[in-house]
Structure 1
Amino acid sequence: MKILVTNDDGINSEGLRLLALELEKYYEVYVVAPDSEKSATSHAVTLRSHLEIKKVKLEGLKNPSYSVSGTPADCVRIGLALLHEDVDLIFSGINRGYNAGGDIKYSGTVAACAEANLHNLPGVAVSAEFKDGSSDFKTAASFVPGIFQKYQDLVLAGPIVLNINVPKLPEEEIKGIKVCELGDLVHDRFRQEIISEEISHVFLKDRKMIDLKDGADQKLLSQGYITLTPIKYIYKDQALMDEFLQVK
């Protein structure tokens, strides 16, 4: 099996390298990732400037890797169109910080997998909790092959995104793995600084988690579980289309 690995934290992220190393124990792995951090770029692509591709060497990996001066979605597009047309699926991560609940809408990590879906390929997004100034990428990476192999037939059956989040805990303290729904959007709070009558600057002050929904990813992560959420990006709702067609 041939896997393309990307992320939104950039080509030099330790999470990316450790994920690729773990997958390389079982599969043929190629890395195409942004040349710098592109967090929260969602599904943006580059249209008005050229993209620079560089061949780079990541420590421990057998195959050449490539950096791209663009977004995670750019990396998937370039990786599939120019470098590795015959890949079987995309892995994205390991992200520094959860991609849970409504936050997936802004995530470059998850959007890279959504881009894979547009090319009729499945994607697996992997994120690790950021806590006390760091993420435990090594522990998170160690779980990924086993999770994928358990659900491989379902993942490969069609263009879906499997969204995986791993809490920052010693391996023996992780309570298990739960398949679950997405939680809610985290509420961002802002601070406004008045510059003049016409201009003000707005800064992200903090993020406040609302009450956690029982059985959803955010709640289960807080309880020490790894969470798996299968996601389908459906761009055509035939029933809704039929309703519109019936309007005279």
Structure 2
Amino acid sequence: MATTKKKKTPKEQPIILVTNDDGITAPGIRNLVEAVRGLGTIVVVAPDKPQSGMGHAITIGSPLRLSKVQLFEGVEAWQCTGTPVDCVKLAVDKILHRKPDICVSGINHGANHSINVIYSGTMSAAVEAAIESIPSIGFSLLDYSVEADFSGARQYAREIVETLLKKKMDNHMVLNVNIPAIPAQLIKGIRVCRQAYGKYEEDFLERDDPHGRKYFWLTGEFKNLDKGKDTDVWALENNYISLVPVQFDLTNYVLKTKLEKTWP
């Protein structure tokens, strides 16, 4: 008796969640959408206004609102009144109803190298995705201008995402990718790095408002305190894209081992 072969069903397209911290209308997120267009089904969930420097903040004292927007041709997009982390949480729970295959955050306007990763809403969105067992990448371009040239960032973002989608990714993978603000042809390539040790020398400018009440305006200058040639800061200063694997487990395992032997 003849047997009939079961028809092969086409492979399901990966779902790519796109978010950011500069807001859904920022040029960076538009360029990120274009970078990953055609690599899977794209869904955008991003803040309705800039949320830079929010870190891993979540909204707990006020309601969150989601509204569908038509900003990216052929792409489902939602804006959220909350933080970047709120966006990831709502995307998984209320919009996608399943975990996406990858989450990409950015492209941020400005650096997220070194200690910036702690404050970054862009990177916190990526870290939140990894907490939810979604492989993720945060992309940042070292240019704060709204007229920044994203062509190199767009090219390399696509290359990185396309490469990773072909591999079996760790569910808790988080990559922090920074791109120097130079023409694409001058970028020397991608370097896997460690996070440099640096900090901001901060100053609070003290001023008076029109009513005579004092207020403070935070200013500061980033200082790289790490002279290693294997860091993200070194790579960027030498025209490489830096790629730093980061994690949400903040345990200091070296100190833990020491304390286990000496405590109390």
TM-score (normalizing by structure 1):
0.88
Q: For residue 217 of structure 2, what is the aligned residue in structure 1?
A: 203
Q: For residue 24 of structure 1, what is the aligned residue in structure 2?
A: 37
Is 1:225 matched up with 2:237?
no
Shift of 1:137: 2.1
Does the 8 A contact of 1:35 with 1:69 survive in 2?
yes
5 Å matches for 1:71-82?
A: 71-82=83-94
Counterpart residue identity of residue 16, structure 1: I
Does the 8 A contact of 2:19 with 2:29 survive in 1?
yes
Distance 1:36 1:174, change over 3 A: same
Shift of 1:52: 1.1
Q: Classify the secondary structure of the residue corresponding to 1:148.
A: helix
Aligned-residue CA RMSD in angstroms? 2.6
Is 1:170 matched up with 2:176?
no
Q: For residue 216 of structure 1, what is the aligned residue in structure 2?
A: 231
Is 1:5 matched up with 2:18?
yes
Bigger radius of gyration among the two: 2
Q: Deviations over 1:24-61 (max 9, x none)?
A: 2211110000000000000000011111111001133x
In structure 2, what is the Cα distance between the partners aligned to 1:63 and 1:192? Answer: 43
Distance 1:244 1:31, change over 3 A: same
Q: Deviations over 1:158-178 (max 9, x none)?
A: 302111111111111111111
Shift of 1:153: 6.3
Distance 1:132 1:38, change over 3 A: closer
Q: Classify the secondary structure of the residue corresponding to 2:53.
A: coil
Q: Percent identity?
A: 30
Distance 1:154 1:244, change over 3 A: farther
Shift of 1:142: 1.4
Does the 8 A contact of 1:129 with 1:135 survive in 2?
no
Shift of 1:245: 11
Shift of 1:151: 4.2
5 Å matches for 1:58-137?
A: 58-60=71-73, 62-86=74-98, 87-130=100-143, 134-137=147-150
Does the 8 A contact of 2:64 with 2:81 survive in 1?
yes
Distance 1:141 1:155, change over 3 A: farther
Does the 8 A contact of 2:177 with 2:241 survive in 1?
yes
Shift of 1:148: 2.7
Q: Classify the secondary structure of the residue corresponding to 1:144.
A: helix
Q: For residue 15 of structure 1, what is the aligned residue in structure 2?
A: 28
Unaligned stretches of 5+ in structure 2? 1-13
Does the 8 A contact of 2:84 with 2:122 survive in 1?
yes
TM-score (normalizing by structure 2):
0.83
Counterpart residue identity of residue 71, structure 1: T
Does the 8 A contact of 2:20 with 2:122 survive in 1?
yes
Count how many residue pairs are aligned between Structure 1 and Structure 2: 244
In structure 1, what is the Cα distance between the partners aligned to 2:124 and 2:115? Answer: 13
- Worse-matched range after superposition: 101-110 or 224-233: 224-233
Distance 1:247 1:90, change over 3 A: same
In structure 1, what is the Cα distance between the partners aligned to 2:186 and 2:253? Answer: 45
